[in-house]
Structure 1
Amino acid sequence: MPHVIVKLYSGRTEEQKAKLAEEVCNAVISALACDEKSVSVAIQDIRPADWQDKVYKPDILANSARIYKKPAY
């Protein structure tokens, strides 16, 4: 606990994804006062053409009550 999944447009480098995972992990540790050993972060690359069907509709639109930071699109 906790496990964070980040879905983003494909095309980021492994270095960018590693930095993002590290910063997300640090934010989780800070916000929840938990140990680093209990945090995991996964990154899923999504093709821009697939964003609507694989992320926006099922994860954002269908779960809007659970979204704490909503997109502006």
Structure 2
Amino acid sequence: MPHITVEMLPGRTPEVKKAIAKEVMERVAPLAKVPADSITVTIHDIAKEDWNQVVEERNHKDEEHLYTYESVK
């Protein structure tokens, strides 16, 4: 079933991360036509100083699968 990875800067509490994961699951479920409990979410904290190397470079290499807000409006 769907697995969603969220990468963001550090600083959120475990409770906030849990709330983010729950919200993502509940919103994706009807769109993907799957039960919310079949969706898994991984949340990775990426340090600001590592962001370009870890996220931006990978996204640039994988632009075919990258969705930004601008690309889906």
Q: Deviations over 1:25-73 (max 9, x none)?
A: 0111021110123110010011000000011101x111112112257xx
**Which blocks of at least 5 consecutive residues in structure 1 are unaligned?**
none
TM-score w.r.t. the length of structure 2 is: 0.86
What is the count of residue pairs matched by the alignment? 70
Question: For the aligned residues, what is the CA RMSD?
Answer: 1.4
Structure 1 stretches of 4+ with a deviation exceeding 3 A read: none
CA 1:38–1:27: 2 relative to 1, 3 Å: same
**Which blocks of at least 5 consecutive residues in structure 2 are unaligned?**
none
Q: Give aligned-pair identity as a percent.
A: 31
Aligned to 1:38: 38
TM-score w.r.t. the length of structure 1 is: 0.86
Aligned to 2:65: 66
